[in-house]
Each structure stands twice: as structure tokens, then as C-alpha cells.
Amino acid sequence: MENNEDLLKKINILREQVNDIDNHLVELLAKRKGITNELIQQKIDAMLPVLDKQREREIISKHIQNIDIINETFLNKFFHLLFEDSKRQYYKYENLFSIHDYICRRPIIIAGPCVVENELQINTIAEKLSSYGIKFLRGGSFKPRTSPNSFQGLGNEGVKLLSEAAKKNNMYSVTEILEIEQLVKNYELIDVVQIGSRSMTSYGLLKSVGNMTAKDGKYVLLKRGFSATLSEFLNAADYILQAGNPNVILCLRGIRTFEQIDSNLRFTPDLASILELRGRTELPVIFDPSHSTGKANFVVDISNAALNIGADGLIIEVHNQPSTSEVDAMQAIIPEKILDII
Ligand code: PEP
Ligand code: MN
């Protein structure tokens, strides 16, 4: 009995200490916010860029190196949240931010339909997504279909519709190209060039895209080949980096394993590769919950799992009427579902 009382006393003393620290923490956070508000305002007045990714990285890595007891992922997330919070109120000055600034935000959310179908469809989806603060609109127009008899996308017309919908809603367009000519023809309409899983080993295409985008650092979203090892994936990224474009985003999108013999999973979500890549590259790593599962009702959970273990972002297939989607209807979620993730 006495032992129990002693124990309770000890617990209470420790709780008091924790409360004390929490009070200090919140006070310090408020103080920090006041200072960062002032700092950001100064930058805005001086027309200087608000975001400084390099400094953010330095702050995080300094603390990761100095503190052992706190988990690295936690520190990463904690500081990203702090940085995001300081910057949030300035996002209304949208015109101060460039695509690079948005790529620096965490999480990077890219969403939109598998394929652009018509103007109404892409505009409806874009409007909804942008109202949630999403800045990247995906939509395929040159589709790598398994059968030549399946719908191949709207081609150049689709890219135009995607770009218009993106611009109208202050978003950036993300679309896949299969051949370099498609990029040449649509260069100004594509903000992020997607190289799909099936093209990851098209080394000629990687070189041409690298050379073409090196001049302006246009972002390239490279998806992992579904049978590629991580080394092969990173080597593919090197083709673009070595051509002189450092702005590559890696995307894990599920791999093919024996699981597909008797499960309904379209691919096997390669979630642990997020952790593996973290140690092997500085490039942002995003995850595709849509193609990796092929199932709309798995998308939210897999997305949250990916973010929880440190993915820098997601690319998600969204449709205003999933059942009518021309391609990949089974894996499309309605735009509102995104709110369960971000
Ligand atoms: C896509 O994102 O539209 C796509 C076709 O994905 P993947 O290349 O990963 O199959
Ligand atoms: Mn798709």
C-alpha cells in the first residue's frame, strides 16, 4: 500500500516536471512564431524569397546530429511542421511563391485524374483540389496503355486542357510524356514532366528529357519501374541529374511480386523503400497510393502510412465521378477524400 503511494507520488512529481516543460515549450513556440513572423515580413518588404530550403535543411540536420534520444523522423516532421506553420499566413501572397517553393513544402501533394477526359471533368476536379490548397494537378494525355486498343488519352489537346485548368486555379500541371517530341511540342504547358514506370529504363528518353530540362531546371517526376531495383531506379535518376537538371522527384508506385498471383492488389506497395531511399538519396521521394494498390478504398490508409514513415509527398488519382473514369476507375477517389489525408 505504502509502495503504491510512493509510486503515485513519484509519478505525480514526474508529471509536474512534464507539465512544466510543456508550458515552457508552448511559450517558446509562441515566442518563435513572433520572431519568424517578423523575419518573414522583413523578407517580403525587401522582396526577398521567403523560403530558404538550404537553411531549413541545416537546422534539421544540426539537431539530428546533436540529439540521440529523439527519433530522426520525429525531428524531421517536427521541424517541417514548425516551418510550415511560420510560413502559412504568408501563403496568401501567392505570387511571391514559385514552383520551387511549393516543391519545398511538405507534403507535396499532386492529385488529379488518371487521364484528362474533357474540359468539364478536368476543371471540376481542379477547382475542388485547389480549394483544398493543392498546388499540383495531374492528368495523363499520353497514356502508356498495356493494350493498343485501350483509350490512349487526348494527346496534345489533353495537355492544353490540363494546363488551362491548372492555370485557372493557380496550380501547376503534371503530366506524363512517352516520347521526347511530346515534350518539345508542349514544353510551356507542362510544369512537371512525368516519366512513368514503363519508361524508367528508356535511357534515350531520360537523356533527352535531362538535356532539354537542364536549361531551366523544369521538375521531372520519375516513377520507379515496377520491376526495377532501387539501384536501377537511382541510376535512372542519375541520367537526368548528370544531364544537368538537379530537380528530380522520385516516385514509388508499387512493384510487381508474387502477391499479384492471388491477391487483388494491383501491385505491392513498396512502402519500406521510402526509408531505404532516405539513406541513399537527397532527392524528394513521393508515394503513389493509387497505382500501388489499385483500390480506391486503400488509398487513404496507404497515403497516411507513406507520410507517417517520411514520404515527402503523394501523387493521388482523383475523379469527380470515379465510376465513370475512362481509365483506372477502381483506384480513383473523390476529391473530398483527400481531406482525410492532408
Ligand atoms: C500514371 O501515374 O498515370 C501512371 C501511368 O503510373 P505508372 O507509370 O506508375 O504506372
Ligand atoms: Mn492511372
Instruction: List the single range of 35-49, 138-152, 303-317 with lowest mean pLDDT.
Output: 35-49
27 alpha-carbon distance from chain centroid: 32
Mean pLDDT of all residues in 213-220: 97
Over range 21-40, report the average pLDDT. 94
Contact 76, 65 (CB under 8 A): no
* Cβ(113) – ligand 1 distance below 6 Å: no
When pLDDT is averaged across residues 217-224 and rounded to a whole number, the result is: 98
- φ, ψ for residue 221, nearest 5 deg: -100, 110
3-state SS class at 113: coil
Report how far ligand 1's centroid is from the alpha carbon of 20 (Å): 50
pLDDT digit string, tens, across residues 85-141: 887 767 666 666 889 988 988 899 999 999 999 999 999 999 999 888 899 999 999
Residue 58 grid coordinates:
541545416
Bridge partners (DSSP) of residue 252 are 287
What does the mean pLDDT of the chain come to? 93
Model confidence pLDDT, tens digit, residues 172-209: 999 999 999 999 999 999 999 999 999 999 999 999 99
Strand partners, 221: 194, 249
Residues 6+ away with beta carbon under 8 Å from 303:
287, 289, 314, 316, 341
- According to the model, what pLDDT value does residue 171 have? 95
* Ligand 1 atom having least distance to the Cα of 194: 2
User: Does 1 score more than 60 pLDDT?
Assistant: no
* 251 alpha carbon, closest ligand: 1
The closest-lying atom of ligand 1 relative to the alpha carbon of residue 196 is: 8
State whether the beta carbon of 176 lies less than 6 angstroms from ligand 1: yes
* pTM reported for the whole predicted model: 0.79
The pLDDT, as a whole number, for residue 94 is 66
The whole-number average pLDDT for the span 277-295 is: 97
How far is Cα 170 from Cα 167, in angstroms, rounded to an integer? Answer: 5
Residue 256 has pLDDT above 90, yes or no: yes
**Hey, which of 136, 223, 314 would you mutate to test ligand 1's pocket, going by the most ligand atoms within 8 Å of its Cβ?**
223
Nearest CA to ligand 1 atom 4: 196
Q: What percent of the chain has pLDDT over 90?
A: 77
Q: Extract the runs of DSSP E, i.e. beta strands, from the chain.
A: 108-112, 136-138, 172-176, 192-195, 219-223, 248-252, 285-287, 313-317
Q: Is 225 a residue whose pLDDT tops 90?
A: yes
* Ligand 2 centroid, distance to 119 Cα (angstroms): 18
- pLDDT by residue (tens digit) across 32-77? 999 998 998 888 777 777 777 778 888 888 888 888 888 887 887 7
Task: Pick the residue whose CA is nearest to atom 5 on ligand 1.
Answer: 196
Indicate if ligand 1 lies below 6 Å from the C-beta of 135. Answer: no
Which band of pLDDT confidence, cut at 50, 70 and 90, is reported for residue 322? very high
Contact 155, 116 (CB under 8 A): no
Q: Say if residue 222's pLDDT is above 80.
A: yes
- Whole-number pLDDT of residue 81: 83
- The pLDDT assigned to 77 comes to 78
Burial of 56 (0-12, 13-18, 19+ CB in 10 A): middle
